[in-house]
Structure 1
Amino acid sequence: MPALNVKTEPANEIDAALEWHGGDARATIETLLLDCAHLRAQLALTSRCLSRGLTRGWLPEVDRAVDVAVNAE
């Protein structure tokens, strides 16, 4: 059975996030920042527990190397 190929438009995700917060942009941004902080903390914790030998020298990075521009049309 082939994998389900789901494509979502970035604008739809943005609209969905805003809709989740009743159109309140401030609440949406606050939630996204809190989610980002939580994921960074989880990544930091996991990085401390992860063996370099297990990943053959690769370690996760907290910050993106290149900013990805989102085309919100």
Structure 2
Amino acid sequence: MQPAKIQEPDPVWPDPAWPDRAWEVEAVLAWHDDNAKAAIRSLLDDCKHLRQQLALAERAMSRGMTRGWTPRYERDIL
């Protein structure tokens, strides 16, 4: 079984559901008053929180509910 591939937006036909990445970076920096270290710290805290939530959900779900699926805590390297 091959690992799942992360869908990237098609540069010719941009999908409105995929926001512009450059805009996202600027928005994060603006939220933190252009303090890159504070932005990185905040994003790392978000990542830690989401990993904890994923671990909690993994413990709460039964194998039958997910049909054998288990979460991965690391992204696939493309």
Deviation at 1:65, TM superposition (A): 2.1
Dislocated runs of 4+, deviation >4 Å: none
Q: Tell me the TM-score normalized by structure 2.
A: 0.74
The structure showing larger relative contact order (alpha-carbon pairs under 8 Å, at least 6 residues apart) is 1
Q: Tell me the TM-score normalized by structure 1.
A: 0.79
Equivalent AA in structure 2 for residue 27 of structure 1: A
Spell out the pairing of 1:1-73 with structure 2 (5 A cutoff).
5-67=16-78
Gaps of 5+ in 1: 68-73
Distance 1:6 1:33 in 2: 24
Gaps of 5+ in 2: 1-15
Deviation at 1:7, TM superposition (A): 3.4
1:29-49 deviations in whole A, cap 9, x for unaligned?
000000100000110111011
